[in-house]
Amino acid sequence: MPYEQCTFRHHYGPNIPGMPDLRKKTWQSFPANAKLPQGCRMRSIFNESMKHPKVIQELEKIKGASANSEFGGRCHQLNGINYLYNKYVTSWLAPTHHYQIPDVKLWYQPPVGPCQPCRVSYTISARIKEDEYISAGFKGDSWEHNEPYPPETPRPCYFGMCVDEYDSFDSNRIALGYASSSRGHCVREMVSKQYAGMPTDVDEKMLSKTSVERRGDRTILQFTVLQHWHHDLDPLIPDGPFRFMWAIGKVTGGRDCTADLGYHAERRGLGPLHWLVALGTTPCLPEPFELGDSPSDDSLLV
């Protein structure tokens, strides 16, 4: 219970009544001179990597291509800052600290909200091996969104894989996909009943328009899910209605939808969907083959 170990209050605003709003009044477009709410270490890595000519060239290329793209929607290179920093800076300055940062793209078309609920289609393209899976799921919003202080009601699954009662309105389902010449292919709809541990397959499906395919060295997972979207309460740093989680792990045995799944280890992430840029994600541009025939489903359900 980390919140019970100390008694302190952030004098920040704007959520806390009577506290000053210390935010910058201008929000500049990423990546030029972006003002991001990051810790000291993250900020130093961001500033250093953004000064590297190859990083600048790559981001300008993506920015220009995105402006002329016919796809629209939002494309995020998850862990993009670490990915570019590792590729262009670490590999040159400190090759012994060059790691395999996951190359994962997330693309979706935001619906016109609020809608209760609406169908939203997601495409995840990951550069992984044939014997590996890519998975994705959604959890409730971060506690800062509606609470001026840490919540009094416990959310036991906040940092874990499971989805507690508070989060469940966003669906407790995990979409997991793999495509292999030796293991077959499958999109599995799963739930995690424990804070950490092996998820289990469900009998009653909620996801729709699911597909998975292998293109070159990438596995592409697509699915559509019902979600509750609403207007942003904070125009400068929108929180969004939920947090997005993803993981990569091994497919260790069996075939097709009966294959065994291995532990994802450190290859996973979790963060509010609208905070992805602030948490180290960069823009990206999906390749045509990454979107396939999946439509941008913006139809609303009454």
| 149 falls within a domain | yes
**125 close to 104: Cβ distance less than 8 angstroms:** yes
In the prediction, which pLDDT does 32 show? 43
The single residue listed with the structure tokens 């091996």 is: 129
- Residue 58 is given by DSSP the state H
| 195 falls within a domain | yes
Ordered alpha helix ranges (H), the chain? 40-50, 53-67, 80-85, 91-93, 288-291
The single residue listed with the structure tokens 């739930």 is: 191
Pair of tokens at residue 101: 């940062």
> Cα(121)–Cα(106) distance, rounded to whole angstroms?
11
Cα 62 to the center of its chain, rounded Å: 19
- What backbone phi and psi angles, to 5 degrees, belong to 64? -65, -40
**241 close to 115: Cβ distance less than 8 angstroms:** no
| 296 falls within a domain | no
In terms of Cα–Cα distance, which of 33, 117, 30, 113 is closest to 76? 30
In the prediction, which pLDDT does 28 show? 39
Task: Indicate the pTM of the whole model.
Answer: 0.75
**Amino acid (one-letter) located at 22:** L
What average pLDDT values come out for the chain (302 residues) when binned by 10 residues? 57 54 47 44 55 73 65 83 78 70 90 81 94 92 66 78 78 91 91 89 93 94 88 60 90 89 89 76 80 45 28
Helix (H) or strand (E) holding 50: helix 40-50
**141 close to 166: Cβ distance less than 8 angstroms:** no
In the prediction, which pLDDT does 239 show? 63
User: In the beta sheet, which residues pair with residue 188?
Assistant: 176
| 26 falls within a domain | no
The total number of structural domains in the chain stands at: 1
> Cα(77)–Cα(201) distance, rounded to whole angstroms?
28
> Cα(38)–Cα(236) distance, rounded to whole angstroms?
15
Cβ density class 242-274: b for 16+ within 10 Å, e for less: bbbbbbbbbbeeeeeeebebeebeebebbbbbb
| 1 falls within a domain | no
In the prediction, which pLDDT does 112 show? 78
| 60 falls within a domain | yes
Helix (H, G, I), strand (E, B) or coil at 257: helix
In the prediction, which pLDDT does 236 show? 55
> Cα(55)–Cα(67) distance, rounded to whole angstroms?
18
In the prediction, which pLDDT does 57 show? 74
Structural domain of 221: 37-291
The CATH number for 229's domain is 2.60.40
The single residue listed with the structure tokens 């045509």 is: 288
| 220 falls within a domain | yes
| 19 falls within a domain | no
